[in-house]
Chains A and B, each alone.
Chain A
C-alpha cells in the first residue's frame, strides 16, 4: 500500500442506518436541543410520498415547515427564501430530505441562518466559515451523491449564471440517516446511474492524489457493497437489504472521496454534463473505465487492489498479479453491460449511446472538443494522478464516445 508521509481525514457526521432509522429523528433532534426543524425537499421527493414517510416516522411535522421548492439545480433565491422562512418561524434545525440539490440548498440555508447573513455569496470559497452552524439532519433519497457526508455545497445564481462553491468542515451535516424506505421507489434506470455515481466516487478515491489509508478503507468497503448490491437493487427494487446496502455503500464512498478527492472521471463528467446536459451518474458510469485506463501506469497497484473487494478472494488469488488491474476494468465494463441490459438500454455504455428526452443522441461527436475545453475549467483535474491537457481530454472522450477501450500507448506518461 502507498502510505503517504502526511494526510488529513475528517468525517464527523453521526450516521444512523437501518430499515427503521427515521424513527430516531425526534431523539436525535432533542439531543441537539432542537424542537422546531424546517424540512427542505423537492417536488419529486415530496410527490413520491417520501416526506410523508419521514413525517410519520419523526412524529407529526408542522406542514407549514415542510418546503418543497428546491429546483433540480440549487438556486440562490430559493436559499434566501428558505432562510427567511426559517427565521420567521423561529426554527432551530434543518432536515434535508432529497438528493444532491436538496442537500446543497440546506447547507446554503444553514450558512445564511447561522451567520445571520444577508448574502450567501459572502461565504463562498473554502474557509470562509469560522464557527459551527445550526443542526442539520441529512436524509438522502438516492444512493449516489454521498452529499450527506461531504463538506461542500454548490449553489447556482441563475440570474448571474454563476455556480458558487462553498467548502468547510462546518458544512458537514450533524446527522445522516440512511433508511431503506427512502430509496425503495427509485426506478431501475435511476438506481443504476446513481449507483454508478457512488461507484465512481469509491474507485476514484482509491487512485486520486489525496488518497490515504483511511479513505482507502472507506472506499474499498464501499466498492465491495456497491458491486455486490447494485445489480440486486436494479433487479429487485423492493429488496430492502439491497437498498440499505447501497445507501451505506454510497455513504462510505462519499466519506472516501471527500477526503481523497476525485480526478479525471469527474473532471470530464462535469464538463460533459454542463455542455450536453447528460445526467451526472450516467457520465460517471461511462467514463469510469477510461479514468482507470488513463491512470493505470501511475496507480496499477491501487487499481489491482480493487479486485479483492469486487470479485472476492478466490478470483483475486487466481488472477495473475499483472492482470488484476485490467480485470478490474473489465468487471466495471461488464457491470455497465449488465445494467444496460437490465434497464432496457437506458443505461448507456458509451457517450454515443446517451439519448435525450426525445430519443435523439445527447452527445454529438462534434461536441467533444467543446467538452474537452470545458474540462480545463474544472478543479477535479488537480487531484488526478496523471496530468491532463486538452489533447488528453479529447482522446479519452473520443474513446468513450465510441465505447472502445482506451489505446494506452497514446497516453502521455509523466
Chain B
C-alpha cells in the first residue's frame, strides 16, 4: 500500500493554547489528587510500578503525560515517551477543544469515535475513572456534570471542599 502523508490541521493557535493549558493543569492536578484523594490514590496503587499514560490530540499534540515511579505519581510534561501503558488520543485538535471545553462529555466523545484508546482495557478504565474524579474536583458542579456520566452527589461536602482546596493548591504550586 502506498505511504500516505498524514495531513495536519491548521495551527489554530488559540484552540491549541487552550488545550495545552488545560492538559498542563490537569496533569498537575492528577499528581495532586494522587496525594489528596483516597480513591485516586487507591486507583494508582492498583496500577503497576512505572505505569505511564498520556492524554492528548492527534496528530502532533499537545499531550499530557503522567507516570508512577517508586509509588509516587508525577506529571511528566508534554513529551510522549517511547513506551506507555495507556494512550488516550483525541482524533484532532477541534475534537480535543470540544471535549476539554466540556461541550461534549468523555462518554459522548467515545461513542462518536473521537477518542482512541490504546493499551490494556483495565488500565484504560482506571485512567478514565481517575480523570473523572479529577474533573469533579477541578470544575464547578454545573460544568463537571457535562464532563462526567454521573456527578457524584453522594460525596460528602467535606470531601469535595477539602479535596478541591488541596488539589488546587498542590496543582498551582506543582506539589
Residues of A within 8 A of B (CB): 4-8, 125-127, 130-131, 165, 209-210, 261, 376-379, 381-383, 386-387, 412-414
Contacts and interface: CB of A to CB of B under 8 A. Distances in A.
Contacts of B122: 376-378
Interface string B1-15: 100000000000000
B128 A382 contact: yes
Given A386-B150, A387-B150, A165 B121 contact: yes
Interface stretch (B63-71, B73-81, B105-113, B161-169): B105-113
A340 B86 CA distance: 44
Contact of B121 (A8, A209, A378): A378
Given A387-B150, A412-B150, A382 B110 contact: yes
Interface residues of B, number: 22
Contacts of A6: 112
B151 A127 contact: no
Q: Is the interface of B mostly helix, strand, loop or mixed?
A: mixed
Contact of A412 (B113, B128, B148, B153): B153
Contacts of B17: none
Interface string B135-150: 0000000000000111
Interface string B100-142: 0000000110111100111101101100100000000000000
A209 B111 contact: yes
B83 interface: no
Contacts of B153: 412
A245 B132 CA distance: 44
- Ranked nearest first, the 9 interchain pairs of A and B with the lowest CB-CB distance are A414-B150, A387-B150, A377-B122, A387-B149, A210-B111, A379-B121, A209-B111, A6-B112, A414-B149
B1 A382 contact: no
Contact of B111 (A125, A381, A383): A383
Nearest to B43: A376
Given A209-B108, A413-B150, A414-B151, A126 B125 contact: no
Contacts of B119: 125
Given A130-B1, A387-B150, 17 more contacts: A4-B112, A5-B112, A125-B119, A127-B116, A209-B108, A209-B110, A210-B111, A376-B122, A378-B122, A378-B125, A382-B107, A382-B128, A386-B150, A387-B148, A412-B153, A413-B150, A414-B150
Contacts of A379: 121, 124-125
A376 B43 CA distance: 11
